[in-house]
Structure 1
Amino acid sequence: MNLTENIKEALRSVKINLLRTVLTGTIIAIGITSLVGMLTAIDAIKAQIEDSFSGLGANNFDVRSRGFSGGRAVQGGKTEKSYPAVKFRDAQDFKSEYSSIGMSTVYSTLSGAVEIKRGSKKTNPNIRVTGVDDLYLPIKGIKIEDGRNFSNTEIEYGSNVCIVGVELVDLLFEKEENPLNKQVSFFGNRYTIIGVIEKQGSVGGGSGADRAVFITVINGSRLDRRGTFRYTITASGTNPINLDYEMGQATGVMRKIRQDGIGEEDSFEITKSESVGESLEEVAGYLRIGGFTIGFITLIGASIGLMNIMMVSVTERTREIGIRKALGATPLRIRQQFLIEAIVICLIGGVFGVILGIGIGNIVANTIGPGGFLIPWIWIIVSFVICVFVGLSSGYIPAFKASKLDPIESLRYE
């Protein structure tokens, strides 16, 4: 028997023992489903998170108060010097001087627990209000669905106007009612809605910009009666190649504004926006390792089940093996026949497992957060390689046993 005949015979055996093939393939399919399903879900969720953070841009960097809070930072077991927070005047001066290098936006989160009112309707006290300028939305990649952005005059005079998220519109307005030029109240003032931002969506049940209100940064600074607000600057670099150089220029500009002495540490910090993506990739890597480990353990159980079934198949076909050997089949061809049969069964189970895994993984990902349909080609290829490996490892011992059977004893077997 040559290799081609062995393949045909293996396929014929799979067809004759269809029920056994289906049951064995189901075992493999369950293992592949768990592997591909988990990895697909992880990659799909990661893609959603990356899309949510895509507005940050790979060319952006933030200038903010040291340690985020402007207080004391602890490093190496020692309490560092306390640095004052970045204030409104610092941020405005930086934006003015940095304008010759590139664009930047100044903003401050005024509160994350605000109640917005309109007539008899009001929201829960969980709305985030942020003071921004006219470049905040373009730099952060937030699009306006209805209305417009802040004008230069509104920014300069700190007018009582606001841009809101779609969730606020749903809460405070009727379904067909146009929110533009309508007024809402918060912080004891009335604000006119001039824009509604495009639905952002979120991962993990949060609301993000959909449950947010943006007012002009100067208007927000007037609410800082105790001087506790802290301001952040996001600068947009020209391209990733020049980003480090532009961050160095930004550092020099801010040190001058903050009057940091020669040899002294920076009284602020500059971070790349892409660090969010790097952290996300690191977390996703750990999740993939965990998912692959769990799926591989499931496949080990499946391979043991396949090996057991193949051992039974060898016992059932002892007389057949004897006839083949009597007709001149070598031990190598006998081993090949059973190995090919085991691999074919694994590949059949693998095809169904991959289809189920892709479907389940995308369903899980879209349940957590709305997103597209992801087909993980890399994991599909890895799954089929694993199927071949499982078929070889599970079928080798039964195939070796079959190749060592004595032809005379095999022909006597009943």
Structure 2
Amino acid sequence: MKLTDTISLSFRTIRSNFLRTAITVAIIALGIAALIGINTAIQAIAQKFQESFSSMGANGFTIRYRQVNVQFGRPSVKMQSKKNRRLKTSNANKTINIQEAEAFKEIYKYPSEVSISIGGGGNNIVNYGSQKTNPTVRINGGDENYVDMNGYDLAAGRNINTLDVTSARNVCIIGKDIVDKLFKGNDDLAVDKVISINGISYRVIGTLQSKGSTFGMSLDNLIITSYKNVRRFFNTGTNASFSIGVKVHDVSNMDVAIGEAEGAFRAIRKVSVQDDDNFLIDKSDSFVEMLMKQMGRLTGAAVVIGFITLVGAAIGLMNIMLVAVTERTKEVGLIKAIGGKQRNVRMQFLFESIIISLLGAFFGIIIGVLLGNIVSVLMGTGFVVPWIWVALGVLICSVVGLLAGLYPAFKASRLNPIEALRYE
């Protein structure tokens, strides 16, 4: 028998046992779909986080407030260093104030851009004429470098300048959601208009291009003004803390820049030599890296689920192939009687087993990719295909089909042709 005849016969046999084949294919597809689907979703989430939290790029880091839980006059053990040094209680929960942030921007001379920022809450209401937003608008205070360093792009108007910051005047840049709500999506129309934020009048000096959403939270439902203005109207509490963003010109010098920043800010914060830093320095991609480590557990779970399902599918496939050997004993005897060799019989049963496995892989990959991309659609990312896992899925199913078909194939090939022909 020719190889093409063997393959053709394998396909005809699979079609003739459609229901049994379909059940086996469904079991295999379920395992592959779980594996591919979860990894597709994880890849989509990773892509979105890279866009959302690494907007400063690989050459950025942030200095922020390090909150310490103080109990009975002592810092929490969790915040102690490897050398068991303790932060002084009097200096442990000290927020970063405006004087310290501005002093750092003044004295930090490493080749970089520095931006000062502070949050103004996320429950603000914006009015323009008879139009009003929901009380979900976020206010961010920054300086002339804030827009660029946080990955925003202007759609119309101008950026905040140093005069806006020093004078703390009521000017702002509004996000795309607010433009759509108050100005029917017309960016040029919004520029130079006077809006009301919680009853306070602000002149719109610019609008932002859309950034989409993350986990259902819009990144365009925000207003940017100067940090001094936010401190004046929106964040007047004593625990308000500023953040300092730094964007280094040469990414290869990141560690040096962080070291320089740490030394400069320790001096500004008056941290003694024997004490730990009472602030944190985060790389722009550190949060994403931390989150991806946690999501690695999901990948592990997907592998376990897929493995268990595929083991069950392999057992089921082997059982079906053994039943097929019994049912087709006379057919095997006829093949051998007309000159078919043991190799031809083995190849036929192995091809059947591998074809069923690959059909399961095909449908499982399609279902897994489609299910995983539901997450990417919800998050507004592009269509994601985890090619490495797709290739791995095909390889795994090929191995499963081969192993599941080996014993039935050898059993069939060793049948005595005369006894096989007489089998009822």
Normalization by structure 2: what TM-score? 0.87
Q: CA shift at 1:55, angstroms?
A: 0.6
Give a deviation string over 1:12-66, Cα, whole Å, max 9, x none.
2313542435625454344433332332222123222222223132111111222
Q: Percent identity?
A: 37
Are positions 1:385 and 2:382 aligned together? no
Q: CA shift at 1:332, angstroms?
A: 5.4
In structure 2, the residue matched to 1:368 is 378
Q: CA shift at 1:328, angstroms?
A: 6.3
In structure 2, the residue matched to 1:46 is 46
In structure 2, the residue matched to 1:89 is 99
Question: Contact 1:104/1:235 (CA < 8 Å) preserved in 2?
Answer: yes
Give a deviation string over 1:167-219, Cα, whole Å, max 9, x none.
122333345582211112225421111111111112211123x1111111122
In structure 2, the residue matched to 1:60 is 60
In structure 1, the residue matched to 2:242 is 231
Q: 1:136 and 1:192 mapped to 2: Cα distance?
A: 19
Q: Report SS of the residue matched to 2:58.
A: coil
The one of 186, 189, 195 aligned to 1:184: 195
* Structure 1 residue ranges, 4+ long, deviating more than 6 angstroms after superposition: 68-72
Q: 1:186 and 1:355 mapped to 2: Cα distance?
A: 48
Q: CA shift at 1:106, angstroms?
A: 0.2
Q: 2:384 and 2:238 mapped to 1: Cα distance?
A: 48
Q: CA shift at 1:228, angstroms?
A: 3.3
Question: Contact 2:69/2:76 (CA < 8 Å) preserved in 1?
Answer: no
In structure 2, the residue matched to 1:37 is 37
In structure 2, the residue matched to 1:102 is 112
Give a deviation string over 1:249-280, Cα, whole Å, max 9, x none.
01111122122223332232222222112113
Change (3 A) 1:340 1:185: same
Q: CA shift at 1:77, angstroms?
A: 8.6
Q: Report SS of the residue matched to 2:368.
A: helix
RMSD between aligned residues: 2.7
Q: 2:389 and 2:79 mapped to 1: Cα distance?
A: 44
Question: Contact 1:116/1:186 (CA < 8 Å) preserved in 2?
Answer: yes
Q: Report SS of the residue matched to 1:58.
A: coil
Structure 2 residue identity aligned to 1:55: S
Are positions 1:131 and 2:154 aligned together? no
The one of 223, 227, 231 aligned to 1:221: 231
The one of 160, 163, 172 aligned to 2:170: 160
Q: 1:29 and 1:187 mapped to 2: Cα distance?
A: 55
Q: Report SS of the residue matched to 1:56.
A: coil
In structure 2, the residue matched to 1:285 is 296
Q: 1:53 and 1:225 mapped to 2: Cα distance?
A: 27
Structure 2 residue identity aligned to 1:18: R
Question: Contact 2:46/2:288 (CA < 8 Å) preserved in 1?
Answer: no
Structure 1 residue identity aligned to 2:291: L
Give a deviation string over 1:316-348, Cα, whole Å, max 9, x none.
221222234456656555333312221123223
In structure 2, the residue matched to 1:14 is 11
Are positions 1:151 and 2:161 aligned together? yes
Q: 1:48 and 1:296 mapped to 2: Cα distance?
A: 28
Q: Report SS of the residue matched to 1:229.
A: coil
Structure 1 residue identity aligned to 2:264: V
Q: Report SS of the residue matched to 1:374.
A: coil
Listed as ranges, the gaps of 5+ residues in structure 1 are none
Change (3 A) 1:350 1:66: closer
In structure 2, the residue matched to 1:317 is 328
Give a deviation string over 1:88-127, Cα, whole Å, max 9, x none.
0100010111145321100001222222233343333222
Are positions 1:396 and 2:398 aligned together? no
Q: 2:366 and 2:376 mapped to 1: Cα distance?
A: 17
Q: Report SS of the residue matched to 1:124.
A: coil
Change (3 A) 1:356 1:264: closer
Q: CA shift at 1:349, angstroms?
A: 3.4
Corresponding pairs, count: 409
Listed as ranges, the gaps of 5+ residues in structure 2 are 81-85
Question: Contact 2:143/2:161 (CA < 8 Å) preserved in 1?
Answer: no
Q: CA shift at 1:149, angstroms?
A: 0.7
Normalization by structure 1: what TM-score? 0.89
Question: Contact 1:29/1:350 (CA < 8 Å) preserved in 2?
Answer: yes
Question: Contact 1:162/1:195 (CA < 8 Å) preserved in 2?
Answer: yes
Bigger mean CA offset, 153-162 vs 319-328: 319-328
Structure 2 residue identity aligned to 1:342: S
Bigger mean CA offset, 221-230 vs 71-80: 71-80
Change (3 A) 1:176 1:95: closer
In structure 2, the residue matched to 1:74 is 76
Change (3 A) 1:96 1:70: farther
Question: Contact 1:110/1:220 (CA < 8 Å) preserved in 2?
Answer: yes
Bigger mean CA offset, 77-86 vs 243-252: 77-86
Structure 2 residue identity aligned to 1:65: Y
